[in-house]
Structure 1
């Protein structure tokens, strides 16, 4: 199985965080919320290096178009630290983009073509804000789509068509932002109608809805469930996630589980005066799973499962 990273295609990625943010350098969501601004290369090196001491080998960098995604910084970080960085093209919630943004106006075919070129030729250094493209050699390895709370949001159904077409052409998976853990089945239905199987979809933030029956029903369809809130206690205790993983394992669905931290704020980085930091998942959360008899599930969720979930499949 081959996974596309910013430094090229690789066959092994090792211990992988399936939802992370390393650089968000601008655009209006970042200007509107300064805590989102992640623009320190040195801080990113510190955060990554600390987690690598515990075994971290790869991250899926989920910063999409419109948040100051930086192919050059991702590439430089990968070269400096040896981290495998899987970048994304695609979109956050449509409300984050101005009325004049092209995603509201271009056709499905035009958007599809833009996404495919980011995967096959290289990402635009300036997030396709145009009119010129500064093509990086770093290629995207997944396509992001985001929904709102219990609703797709403006124009998202059309974007899903473009994302699905690009995924079919390129062979990369679709990764999602499920606001508060909602819209999981609706996303799977919409993507399936466009020819994208559930096992090519990673449902992000799904543990923000800690309903075991709901998560089991999504996993039974074949989707990957990205549990990305360990350590961020304001959304609920880690014990909730341990219980959810145990429930999935009891239904023999441990192969659908992925883990990440989603540390998309400066206040989450110890190097910038916050926490819990990237090491937390391996240092604090995984031992909780091991103590609950879920060590093998945790190992698969960090290694075999992400390797399968993010593999190119044409």
Structure 2
């Protein structure tokens, strides 16, 4: 049973310093949060913290060892605006960036997030590559990064996972990745339910992309009833096999153990039963099991 978009550790760098609520650096708090969800059946997560946020391979590894949770970590990038003008992603060639990403997948993630100049490789390797767009725009240099990410994904056989700001840029990302050899069924569109337009989401799913619904429980973005209706609409079109669920609890204020909510248990304790009551129990089960198994599977690498 897999959550397709989570954050357990963001330990530094300027986005975290600028917004202290992003700072997630407690292994004990993460263990407690995971253990509560495991009692409801959770067994795997995709940890979506990219380079530049204090991603911690050692803490992710410790979390997996202490809880038995299967953790799929990512390499890659958040929105380019989060990186200073001096950051290498703005200056290295696409080929050089591809090599850095491939090494994180094949050799091991750098404990320091490739801030350089030395690399301290973890024994833990990344299992997906993240790319992020801005609101209704790629953002500075992102089209160039898309090419580097795509080449690394093709060479290693891992999927591409995305941050679609406010649910926008879905088709544009699929077009850009496809032009570089990444098929739509190797792409997970994150935050896509922040744009709760059934026609738009159906058109993305019909292309073969996976839709990561990570809004349940965060009512400030809209009620869960919207997401239930979207799931029903997609299932009614025969597209339930393209759905993934997660919670994206990337703030301290989302964790009960740190004084917030809704917590990692919300999806299984509150949202999935609501889907079941709406006659969507089988769709929910697939979105948490068979769909992520296909979406995050390694494929034979290409040239």
Give the superposed CA RMSD: 0.3
Q: What does residue 136 of structure 2 align with?
A: 150
Q: What does residue 12 of structure 1 align with?
A: none
Q: What does residue 263 of structure 2 align with?
A: 277
- TM (normalized to structure 1)? 0.95
For residues 65 and 233 of structure 2, the distance between their equivalents in structure 1, rounded to whole angstroms, comes to: 39
Give secondary structure in 2 for the equivalent of 1:281.
helix
In the alignment, does 2:89 pair up with 1:99? no
In the alignment, does 2:36 pair up with 1:50? yes
- Cα deviation, residue 150, structure 1: 0.1
In the alignment, does 2:276 pair up with 1:297? no
- Cα deviation, residue 197, structure 1: 0.2
For residues 99 and 51 of structure 1, the distance between their equivalents in structure 2, rounded to whole angstroms, comes to: 40
> Please, which runs of 5 or more residues in structure 2 have no aligned partner?
none
Q: How does 1:62-81 map to 2 (within 5 A)?
A: 62-81=48-67
Moved >2 Å (runs of 4+): none
Q: What does residue 73 of structure 2 align with?
A: 87
- Cα deviation, residue 46, structure 1: 0.4
- Cα deviation, residue 250, structure 1: 0.5
Q: What does residue 133 of structure 1 align with?
A: 119
Residue 213 (structure 1) aligned to one of 199, 210, 222: 199
For residues 283 and 42 of structure 1, the distance between their equivalents in structure 2, rounded to whole angstroms, comes to: 22
1:257-286 deviation line (CA, Å, top 9, x unaligned) = 000000000000000000000000000000
For residues 171 and 43 of structure 1, the distance between their equivalents in structure 2, rounded to whole angstroms, comes to: 33
For residues 122 and 249 of structure 2, the distance between their equivalents in structure 1, rounded to whole angstroms, comes to: 25
- Cα deviation, residue 300, structure 1: 0.2
For residues 121 and 51 of structure 2, the distance between their equivalents in structure 1, rounded to whole angstroms, comes to: 14
For residues 230 and 249 of structure 1, the distance between their equivalents in structure 2, rounded to whole angstroms, comes to: 17
- Cα deviation, residue 149, structure 1: 0.2
Q: What does residue 208 of structure 2 align with?
A: 222
Q: How does 1:161-176 map to 2 (within 5 A)?
A: 161-176=147-162
- TM (normalized to structure 2)? 0.99
For residues 305 and 119 of structure 1, the distance between their equivalents in structure 2, rounded to whole angstroms, comes to: 22
Give secondary structure in 1 for the equivalent of 2:273.
helix
In the alignment, does 2:28 pair up with 1:18? no
1:43-73 deviation line (CA, Å, top 9, x unaligned) = 0000000000000000000000000000000
For residues 251 and 197 of structure 1, the distance between their equivalents in structure 2, rounded to whole angstroms, comes to: 21
In the alignment, does 2:175 pair up with 1:185? no
For residues 94 and 26 of structure 2, the distance between their equivalents in structure 1, rounded to whole angstroms, comes to: 35
Residue 104 (structure 2) aligned to one of 114, 118, 129: 118
* Count of residue pairs the alignment pairs up: 300
1:69-97 deviation line (CA, Å, top 9, x unaligned) = 00000000000000000000000000000
Give secondary structure in 1 for the equivalent of 2:43.
strand
> Please, which runs of 5 or more residues in structure 1 have no aligned partner?
1-14
Q: What does residue 45 of structure 2 align with?
A: 59
